[in-house]
Structure 1
Amino acid sequence: MHRVDLRRLILLLTIAATLLTFAISFHASYQTLRSQLMGQTLEANHAYAAKLAHSTDNFLKAAQQQLAYSAALLPEMLDQAERLDAEVTRLKEQTGTFNGVFIVGAKGRVQAVAPWRPGLVDSVLQTEGAQRALAARAPLISTPYVGLRGHLLVFLSQPIFAPDGRYLGYVGGAIHLGESDGSLQALLGNHYYQDGSQLYVVDGNRHLLHHQDPSRTGGIVAGNPAVEAVLRGEEGSRRLRDASGIDMLAGYAPVPSSGWGVVAQRPTAATLQALDGLMLDILLNALPFFIPVLAAIWWLSQLIARPLRQLAVTARHWEHAAARTEIRQVRSWYFEAEQLRLAMLGGLSLLHRKLGQLNQENVTDPLTGLANRRGLQLALERWQEQNRPFAAIAVDIDHFKQVNDTYGHDVGDRVLQHVSRLMRSVSRSGDLVCRGGGEEFILLLPEAGLEAAAQVAERLRALSGQTKSPTGGCVTLSAGVAHWPSCAASPSAVLKLADEALYRAKRSGRNRIALAGQLEVGSEDAPVS
């Protein structure tokens, strides 16, 4: 089954972590900017409403002060029609605050009016504002109502008192609402936002005194949290839904002198519309940095994974001779890779030792330490491939069965070890000494001729006959000698010829040697012919 490699895992993990971090940062930036934009809009609307509330309050105070100043002068001129006409004209034209100015007597009869209207002087005003001003005998700002000429207006009035305190009537001014000629409209009408933002003024009864939509002026605002708060005298900002269900960010402030309230609100969607552009700018500004980051991630993943990948590739051909060199050449620059490299080197060394040990055990006779039949066979195959001539000496311990029967198998094993030591002592460094099985041994002499091998066999026979064995006496040996390729066509045939020569020596009386293809045998008394 195909498995993903470490480099791809690191790359995928790092890219995923980077993208996740970027997404979280992007989302956090979005939320932060969103909160900041909404907070700034709420604060701006609050400041705007507070400024207009302050301006409206000053406007109303100034209007009342104009009326109060006139009310203080009027007791001296109430019986002088020309002076009254001049006074109402002055009030009307002085600042343009009022759309109409009235001087009304204590009985409610109009004594002067500006602008002049036929039939209005000496008539009794029945309008809501006039009746309330007459009844209040105090400074008054009326609720919105429809005047004599069909205008929606508010009426401001100041009472006129004689020096002795008698109530003489009032002087009042009408301010049109929702019309271009109204001074309040001029004060509040310059609203610069064209994105659905609204600015409106309400009185204490929730009547709209001013609104962006003139058709709503005079209507009642119900269920608006900002209006309810501002009419309680509170000042601040909040997020709300207006009567149309539109999500709004509203700021509000009261007008202390009149009990009115000013509300400035902007659609939340309009506020956040700029956020999409800001986030796109953030994304575009981040891309030039993000691409090099991805390239750096790819390069680092290569750098981190390379040592482990090289070790993994080497592990696939662990048995090759070049594996150790390849592992040594791996640049393991960080701790884990270095520890793994060292562990692999140690494991490879241990494996080679174990394999060498197993191979050695596989070709070695455990009792004598000599090569066994398998070791013998491997040597013969190797020399045959190399076309390397050799001589073979087959050796057998005479009367070994009697040794076992007389002294026991422990002594017999020690005798076998004794003979193996003797054979090593007469062999060269390149010769191969083997135990063929039981009490039989084989000595292979590469590059040696038949006569030289016969001399070695004779030295071994003579040495054994002169050396004390574990039995307490000496043991005698019989031997057969053959040569390849002079005596046989194959190495296996040479061993067979050496065995045949050995058995001829035994049949001839033991303690002697015989050469392959010759009938002569020798003993310690008669040298080999």
Structure 2
Amino acid sequence: MFFVDLRRLILLLATASSLLTMGYTLYGAYSAERTLLIEQALEKNRAYALKLASSTDAFIANLQQQLRYSASVLSTALPQAELTLGDEVRRLQEQNNSFNSVLILNDEGRVLANAPQQLSLIGTTLKGEGTQLALHTKEPVISPPYLSATGRLLIFISHPIFDGDGNYKGLVGGSIYLHEPNSLNALLGEHFYRDGSYIYVVDQHKRLIFHRDVARIGEVVHGNPAIDAVSQGQSDAIALRNVKGVDMLTGFAPSSDVKWGVVVQSPTKVVLDELTVLLGKVLRNSIPFFVAVQILIWMLAMLIAKPLRQLARQAPHLDSANASSRISQVHAWYFESRQIKLAMLLGLKRVNRKMGVMNVERNTDPLTGLNNRRGMAAVLQQWKETDTPFSVLTVDIDHFKRINDTHGHDIGDLVLSFLADTMRACTRETDLICRVGGEEFCIFLPDQDIDQALQLAERLRILISETNSPAGSPITISIGLAHWPVHAREHSTVLKLADAALYKAKRNGRNRVELCDPIISDEDVKTA
């Protein structure tokens, strides 16, 4: 059989420990930094989405304010010449490129003025979803995205026009074409996409109204947890996989006025690329130090293993005549090797003698020659395996401390031996007598019932009380008695019951035998 020597074992363990420590440290640092970067990216995207949502609300509110002002102007100008109306729609359409087109309609939906002029809609009655919604409600309206008669996806923002008497005269409104350049696209689209991040906006029906891929505008998206959440007015940040299978870190927030949802996404890979580069630098800087440590460990391993290796070579030859001389020549320069060396020298003298008396000492009380607790446990285990019934007597010398105090511990030891000899004389060879501690003993009577055990206990008690002890006068003993399996199902419980009976004998005046209380459950004893 092949065995690894200590030098190689130290080197192997040290190398493995170093590798594991370095690996775990790098892994822990990577995991912690990865979590931090992801959390920061998620929070950054969520905060940016909130900012864009707020900016979008402010932008739409500004458009509504422009239309509100225009409606107040038109409330007196509407009956006048169409030239005045044309000037107003051109002003709204050209002043900040907010609207792709601007219209003024009367209360029946007929176009009174439009900008740009190329639309040529004057006199036309519009039936579009946005205009019909505005005419029907006669209130300021931001329509959901819908397809115009020309097939363009647009949003129509309008404000009603009332005359001085409060009569509804029509509306002024502007269209924002979602596929074409305008101020809304500029607001949402002026961002840096070098790291693969991008923004898109959905309405409350999960339809894309802004996306860097213009072809996707108008698409209704299902199964996207970010869109599902932001459509319900929630603001949060989550990690998800987009429709192209790319892992993304997504932040989203709703706009409170127009019920749109702004979603900001960054590729997870881009966020973690910086961490990978940093980890590589750390690893490259750690390798030279690791190699230097391994060389030092190898040198120390040789130095530490040398005396132990020399002692190990002498181990097979301990029975030789010059074994002690060879072991003495080993230079044991540190504590452990020196102690092993001394132990080997001492072991040569003691090993044979120890082997002969070891078993006896394990199970025997050295003072009385009775079984100790270990010997008792071994015999009880055998009885348990064979279901051998037994009675147990717990015996304690009354006022033993007084004997030690009066006559000294030597006489006390003689009294203990005297009691042990008397118990041997009163019992059978098959009975088990144990000293379990101090002046306390146990007598186990296999296959003897309670009456037989009581007779033995009384005979022993009387004999002790009538016989002079080494103290110069008789002593007395108290005895508790229990039976297995009459009083309990577990051996440990029977011993507790016998102890309880012994204490009862002590309380009732000593120099007496007490039987344990009958019919008590094991559970009651454990909780007593």
* Same fold flag (TM > 0.5): yes
Q: Write the distance in 1 (CA, Å) between the matches of 2:91 and 2:216.
A: 33
Q: Is the 8 A contact 1:176 1:183 kept in 2?
A: no
Name the counterpart of 2:208.
208
Give the aligned residue type for 2:138: R
Deviations 1:330-389 (A, max 9, x none): 14313x2121122244457899xxxxxxxxxxxxxxxxxxxxxxxxxxxxxxxxxxxxxx
Name the counterpart of 1:165.
166
Name the counterpart of 2:96.
95
Displacement after TM superposition at 1:315 (Å):
5.3
Name the counterpart of 2:266.
266
Displacement after TM superposition at 1:32 (Å):
2.1
Higher mean alpha-carbon deviation, 317-326 vs 252-261, is at 317-326
Give the aligned residue type for 2:264: A
| 1:280 partnered with 2:304 | no
Q: Write the distance in 2 (CA, Å) between the matches of 1:138 and 1:91.
A: 19
Give the aligned residue type for 1:92: Q
Name the counterpart of 1:64.
64
Displacement after TM superposition at 1:94 (Å):
1.7
Name the counterpart of 2:157.
156
Q: Is the 8 A contact 1:251 1:264 kept in 2?
A: yes
Task: Look up the SS of the partner of 1:229 in the other structure.
Answer: helix
Task: Look up the SS of the partner of 1:330 in the other structure.
Answer: coil
1:162-201 equivalences under 5 Å are 162-179=163-180, 181-201=181-201
Q: Is the 8 A contact 1:311 1:330 kept in 2?
A: no
Displacement after TM superposition at 1:316 (Å):
6.9
Higher mean alpha-carbon deviation, 227-236 vs 268-277, is at 268-277
Name the counterpart of 2:117.
116
- Number of residue pairs matched? 349
Name the counterpart of 1:333.
334
Name the counterpart of 1:75.
75
Q: Is the 8 A contact 2:33 2:275 kept in 1?
A: yes
Q: Is the 8 A contact 2:141 2:158 kept in 1?
A: yes
1:213-292 equivalences under 5 Å are 213-292=213-292
Displacement after TM superposition at 1:245 (Å):
4.1
Q: Write the distance in 2 (CA, Å) between the matches of 1:307 and 1:222.
A: 74
Q: CA RMSD in A?
A: 2.5
Deviations 1:25-72 (A, max 9, x none): 233233223322322221121122112111111111111111111111
Q: Is the 8 A contact 1:317 1:323 kept in 2?
A: no
Task: Look up the SS of the partner of 1:108 in the other structure.
Answer: coil
Structure 1 unaligned spans of 5+: 352-529
Give the aligned residue type for 1:32: A
Give the aligned residue type for 2:122: V
Q: Write the distance in 1 (CA, Å) between the matches of 2:56 and 2:347.
A: 92
Task: Look up the SS of the partner of 2:117 in the other structure.
Answer: coil
Displacement after TM superposition at 1:313 (Å):
4.2
Give the aligned residue type for 2:27: H
Q: Is the 8 A contact 1:324 1:348 kept in 2?
A: no
Q: Is the 8 A contact 2:324 2:345 kept in 1?
A: no
Give the aligned residue type for 2:192: Y
Q: Is the 8 A contact 1:199 1:265 kept in 2?
A: yes
Displacement after TM superposition at 1:268 (Å):
2.8
Give the aligned residue type for 1:228: D
Q: Write the distance in 2 (CA, Å) between the matches of 1:127 and 1:93.
A: 23
Deviations 1:443-496 (A, max 9, x none): xxxxxxxxxxxxxxxxxxxxxxxxxxxxxxxxxxxxxxxxxxxxxxxxxxxxxx
Displacement after TM superposition at 1:122 (Å):
2.0
Give the aligned residue type for 1:120: L
Name the counterpart of 2:34.
34
Q: Is the 8 A contact 2:327 2:341 kept in 1?
A: no
Q: Write the distance in 2 (CA, Å) between the matches of 1:13 and 1:348.
A: 32
Deviations 1:278-329 (A, max 9, x none): 3322321221322222223223322322221233345577768697377356
Name the counterpart of 2:378.
none
Q: Write the distance in 1 (CA, Å) between the matches of 2:323 and 2:309.
A: 17
Q: Is the 8 A contact 1:78 1:84 kept in 2?
A: yes
Task: Look up the SS of the partner of 1:117 in the other structure.
Answer: helix
Q: Give structure 1 regions of 4+ aligned residues with deviation exceeding 6 angstroms.
A: 320-323, 348-351
Q: How does the TM-score come out when normalised to structure 2?
A: 0.61
Q: How does the TM-score come out when normalised to structure 1?
A: 0.61
Q: Which has the larger radius of gyration?
A: 1
Percent identity over paired residues: 47
